[in-house]
């Protein structure tokens, strides 16, 4: 039988209660009590974490609790621990919430250190890992129920950790070809994967995407992932489209040197789509979904595209390139059109670290959302609130659209300093086919260099995976 804190206190002759009183432990959300070798308990250590008003907890709160538990255990160099979840109002913690605590602990354990050698101590031994935890058990009265939910959610965790890995990888390692190779490896999880190489892209007519990458010695490519999980295999799919600029110097319109190293994360949209597709496959989601990512590098060279160039996109529309650093929208324009033309989706979501302007507008707590469809926008808003990956809708209208009109082409790729995120979305909207519900998520502030949270201490957050998985599960699964 799962013990209670009250029973443990009784066995210790009231030691826990006395320690809590002395430490002024009130059980608040951030309160913490640490007892080493508590008397009459066969425990090396007892951690007590407050829950606060757990009746008001959201899914994000239970995930965060799991992260806080792991952080405390790791800071204490604990190798194995059992966790007892107990609400002060006497109500049991649900199996779902117990599974979320476990998932939060898994996500908090992520640490991208593959290129970092361990330092040597004075005695010549290597330093211990920062996180020594190797075993964590959640004590629960009906473990089968919680385990089943965790097994389902573990696929989402795998998708998040994959997205973090991709964003964190250095650009000399994660070239477009290497990214495509890692996507191809996901076929072992049940995804159908297709890679379109540079020659195929030229034959198809993805001239805008190819123009972005023409200054790099590394060839561009497109990766297509398909998951067919709906009862009706012919049901129109949910289309997820991601920008995968593996490194963005800005091209001829080169960026300032300070902070340019962060542009290894300019493929955060592609990482989110890849992680989300893996999550759907891992949990065998009852939905048809297609993920398309455009993989390229934006480099300056004698072959790079120039400001003033005019490119003809796959849609046939022409674009005057004013600024080569506004390259992500060119990548998306071609793969959006290709995805709609080939797969006839029921809805399309585009994700990209598209503009710095979105960080000025919303900071790093919300992704910017733009949509041509109120119902889809509401679905994403709810999915964002439920998953903790929040979005905020910004406007699209004809006046903003006029800002990207060109005198010599169908449009230009920038609209000036004002409303930079909006004009970027207006550009994308020109490549949405009639009657296709579409939403764009500008994740520049949330996918990379995002603030540390209870479930993530990594530079790459994996933002978008939970959001897209929740969107699919709540609104598109059969």
Q: Which residues contact 270 (CB under 8 A, 6 or more apart)?
A: 166, 179, 223, 242, 243, 244, 293, 294, 295
Tell me, yes or no, if 255 is annotated catalytic. Answer: yes
Token look-up 């960026």 returns 255
Partnered with residue 137 across adjacent β-strands are 82
Measured over the CA atoms of residue 369, residue 443, residue 240 and residue 296, the dihedral's sign is positive
Beta strand residue intervals within 249-281, DSSP E: none
- Annotated catalytic residue: which of 108, 153, 218, 329? 329
Taking residue 154's Cβ as centre, other Cβ atoms within 10 Å add up to 17
Order the strands of the 367-371 sheet from edge to edge: 192-196, 221-228, 288-298, 238-248, 347-352, 438-442, 367-371, 391-393
Q: Return the SS3 of 419.
A: coil
Residue with tokens 């800071």: 75
For the chain, helix, strand, coil in percent to 5 are 40, 20, 40
Catalytic residue among 45, 96, 182, 255: 255
Bin 50: left if φ > 0, else alpha if -120 < ψ < 50, else beta.
beta
What gap in Å lies between CA 108 and CA 454, rounded to an integer?
Answer: 7
Contact 468, 272 (CB under 8 A): yes
DSSP three-state, residue 408: coil
Coil, helix or strand at residue 184: helix
DSSP structure string for 341-383: HHH--SEEEEEE---THHHHHHTTTSEEEEES-HHHHHHHHHH
**Cβ proximity of 434 and 341 under 8 Å:** no
Which run of H or E residues covers position 277? helix 268-282
Give catalytic status of residue 329 as yes or no: yes
The 3-state DSSP class for residue 52 equals coil
Residue 216: which of 295, 297, 293, 327 has the closest Cα? Answer: 297
Catalytic site positions: 255, 329
């Amino acid at each position: 039988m799962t013990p209670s804190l009250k029973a443990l206190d009784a066995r210790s002759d009231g030691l826990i209660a006395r320690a809590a009183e002395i430490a002024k432990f009130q059980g608040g959300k951030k309160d913490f009590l640490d007892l080493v070798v508590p008397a009459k308990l066969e425990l090396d250590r007892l951690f007590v974490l407050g829950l606060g008003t757990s009746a008001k907890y959201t899914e994000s709160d239970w995930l965060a609790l799991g992260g806080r538990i792991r952080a405390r255990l790791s800071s204490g160099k604990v190798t194995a621990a059992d966790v007892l979840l107990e609400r002060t109002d006497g109500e049991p913690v649900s199996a779902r919430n117990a599974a979320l605590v476990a998932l939060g602990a898994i996500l908090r354990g992520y640490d991208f250190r593959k290129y970092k050698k361990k330092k040597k101590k004075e005695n010549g031994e290597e330093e211990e890992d920062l996180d020594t935890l190797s075993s964590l058990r959640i004590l629960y009265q009906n473990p089968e129920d919680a385990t089943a939910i965790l097994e389902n959610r573990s696929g989402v965790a795998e998708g998040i950790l994959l997205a973090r890995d991709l964003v964190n990888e250095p650009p000399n390692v994660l070239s477009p070809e290497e990214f495509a190779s890692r996507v191809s490896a996901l076929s072992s999880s049940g995804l159908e994967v297709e890679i379109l190489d540079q020659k195929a892209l030229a034959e198809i007519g993805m001239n805008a995407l190819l123009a972005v990458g023409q200054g790099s010695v590394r060839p561009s490519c497109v990766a297509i992932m398909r998951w067919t999980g709906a009862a009706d295999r012919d049901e129109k799919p949910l289309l997820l489209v991601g920008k995968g600029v593996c490194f963005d110097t800005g091209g001829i319109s080169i960026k300032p040197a300070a902070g340019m190293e962060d542009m290894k994360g300019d493929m955060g949209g592609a990482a989110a789509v890849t992680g989300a597709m893996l999550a759907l496959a891992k949990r065998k989601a009852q939905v048809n979904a297609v993920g398309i990512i455009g993989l390229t590098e934006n480099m300056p060279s004698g072959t790079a595209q120039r400001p003033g160039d005019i490119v003809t996109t796959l849609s046939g529309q022409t674009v005057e390139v004013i600024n080569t650093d506004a390259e992500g929208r060119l990548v998306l324009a071609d793969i959006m059109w290709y995805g709609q033309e080939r797969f006839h989706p029921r809805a399309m979501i585009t994700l990209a670290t598209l503009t710095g302007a979105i960080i000025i507008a919303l900071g790093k707590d919300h992704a910017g959302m733009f949509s041509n469809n109120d119902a889809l926008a509401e679905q994403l808003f709810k999915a964002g609130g439920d998953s903790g990956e929040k979005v905020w809708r910004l406007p699209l209208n004809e006046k903003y659209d006029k800002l990207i009109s060109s005198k010599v082409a169908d449009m230009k790729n920038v609209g000036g300093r004002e409303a930079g995120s909006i004009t970027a979305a207006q550009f994308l909207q020109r490549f949405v086919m009639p009657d296709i519900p579409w939403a764009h998520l500008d994740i520049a502030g949330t996918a990379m260099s995002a603030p540390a949270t209870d479930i993530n201490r990594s530079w790459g957050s994996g933002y978008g995976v939970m959001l897209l998985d929740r969107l699919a599960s709540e609104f598109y699964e059969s």
